[in-house]
Amino acid sequence: MRIIKTSSYNHITITYFELNLKYIIKFEYSGMEQTYKLDKLEYIDFSDLEAKINNNFMTSIKSRFDDMSSEFKKFYN
C-alpha cells in the first residue's frame, strides 16, 4: 500500500492510498477515523476521484464524525 497524497479540510486529515486495484481514502479527525475503499477501475485517474471529494461530501464526513463523537461520549456518562 502506498500513499498517493495527504491533505486536510477543516481540521480533517485526508490520506489517499493505492493498493492493487483499490483506492483507499482515510479521513482522520479528533482521534477518530473513517476509511473508504473504492474500486480503482471506476475512475479515469486519481484526479477524477479527488474531484469527487467536494464540500458536500466533506460536510457529510464531518457530520459522521460529530455523530461518532457523540456516541463515544456516552461511554463516559
pLDDT, one tens digit per residue, over 9-66 is 999 999 999 999 999 999 999 999 999 999 999 999 999 999 999 999 999 999 999 9
Domain count, the chain: 1
Collapsing DSSP states into helix, strand and coil, what is residue 41?
A: helix
Quickly list H helices, the chain: 46-51, 55-73
Domain residues for the domain of 56 are 2-76
Region for 11 from its dihedrals, namely left if φ exceeds 0, alpha if ψ lies in -120 to 50, beta otherwise = left
Name the grid cell of 66.
Answer: 460529530
Per-residue model confidence (pLDDT) at position 75? 80
pTM here is 0.90
List 23's β-bridge partners, or say none. 18, 38
Q: How far apart are CA 46 and CA 16, in angstroms?
A: 9
